Homo-oligomer: A and B are copies of this chain.
Amino acid sequence: MTALQNDLILRTLRGENTERTPVWMMRQAGRYLPEYRATRAEAGSFLDLCKNAELACEVTLQPLERYPLDAAILFSDILTIPDAMGLGLYFTEGEGPKFERPVRTKADIDKLFVPDPNQELQYVMNAVSTIKNGLNGRVPLIGFSGSPWTLACYMVEGSGSKNFARIKRMMYDTPELMHQLLKIVTQSVISYLQAQIQAGAQIVMVFDTWGGNLTTKDYETFSLAYSRQISKALKEFNADVPRLLFTKGAGTWLETMANAGYDGLGVDWTTDLKVARELTKDSVVLQGNLDPTTLYANPETIRSKVRDVLADYGHGHKHIFNLGHGILPDINPEHVTAMIDEVHRSSPAYHQ
């Protein structure tokens, strides 16, 4: 096993005192980079790129060549698990992901199975180990999965949705069916993330993109309860691999989320990090939360807004700098340079 040259983010997640705030970006390997677009064109479709370990490794490393980032994140799709369950994932140009066979009835749910990470999801494990080798200890590798609630949203709706009418109807009218679906997805996420850890992931992150469409009670019952099971199972599997949870739109829920067994919580840009810190009482690391659209602004404005985020968090060591959501596809890559440089320049003062 190669020793890490940069373990800043791991030390942060272990709660150690550090010299500066680590920084990475959600979707850092992505369309805003011309070199990504070139590799993507070479690969064919987005799914072809995900399923080609060499090319997935190439795009994962691209942002590290440009920027002094403190972590790499597995390049993959959020919907690999339902696809491996046989739902038939496909993409149409200009629209989001869709499933050929969405899950609508008890019969549909009864047919679901926990995919074997070393069979149906072998291509993801290949990508993890290829990237791990490619990184050669430069920075830690983050593995990830969608949360059970978020995966279930896509599985039931068959695509993204504005109002989530179908899954909400299932949840309200047949909660036992909703739980049956969430249970099998949760078992799948656990086995998937355990396999990513075995393949080399040094941090794992659960993305709850759609948890924010729920009421507080339903969020706790239908999303957080399952994210809690995941963190518990992963901790038992390997307590040395830190766990991150991100619910977009969490707001006041951060208080409850802090007790769900995760080492760190992602915070979107609409919740002030000062407020998030008060809610979580320094019991977890907070990750975020520059408004992704800030990167449309000029570099001087970007630097000033980075300083605002650092000041919002204030003095302390339990902060990972990130955007409050994924980087947007039409951002100028040079603007990212300004953002990261400002974190390097201004964050050490908060660590003294």
Tell me the A residues contacting B by CB distance below 8 Å: 163-165, 168-169, 172-173, 212-219, 249, 251-252, 269-272, 275, 291-294, 296-298, 301, 305, 308, 328, 330
Pair B217/A271 contact, Cβ less than 8 Å: no
Contact B272 A215 (CB under 8 A): yes
B270/A251 in contact, CB under 8 A: yes
Contacts of A252 in B (CB 8 A): 251-252, 271-272, 275
Question: Do A163 and B214 touch (CB < 8 A)?
Answer: no
Quick one: given A217-B308, A251-B251, A328-B163, are A169 and B272 in contact (CB under 8 Å)? Answer: no
B330→A173 contact, CB < 8 A: no
B272 and A217 contact, CB distance less than 8 A: yes
A330 and B165: CB pair below 8 A? yes
B-side contacts of A215, CB under 8 Å: 269-270, 272, 291
Give Cα A249 to B330, complex, Å: 25
CA distance A328 to B162 in the complex (A): 11
A contacts with B: majority SS: helix
Taking CB atoms, residues of chain B closer than 8 Å to A298 are 173
Pair B212/A270 contact, Cβ less than 8 Å: yes
Q: In the complex, which residues of chain B have a beta carbon less than 8 angstroms from the beta carbon of A297?
A: 168-169, 172-173
A163, chain B: closest CB distance, angstroms: 6
Q: How far, in whole Å, are A66 and B39 apart by their CA atoms in the complex?
A: 59
List 28 A-B pairs, Cβ < 8 Å.
A163-B292, A163-B293, A163-B328, A165-B293, A165-B296, A165-B328, A165-B330, A168-B291, A168-B294, A168-B297, A169-B293, A169-B297, A172-B296, A172-B301, A173-B296, A173-B297, A213-B270, A214-B270, A215-B269, A215-B291, A216-B271, A217-B272, A218-B291, A249-B270, A251-B252, A251-B270, A251-B271, A252-B275
Chain B residues contacting A218 (CB-CB under 8 Å) are: 291
Alpha-carbon separation in the docked complex, A212 to B216 (Å): 17
Q: Is the CB of A272 within 8 A of B216?
A: yes
Closest chain-B Cβ to A212's Cβ sits at a distance in Å of: 6
Give the CA-CA distance A330 to B161 in the complex, in Å: 15
Q: How far apart are A20's CB and chain B's nearest CB, in angstroms?
A: 23
- Supply 9 further A-B pairs (C-beta < 8 A) apart from A165-B296, A168-B294, A249-B270: A163-B328, A168-B297, A173-B297, A173-B301, A216-B270, A217-B308, A218-B291, A251-B251, A252-B275
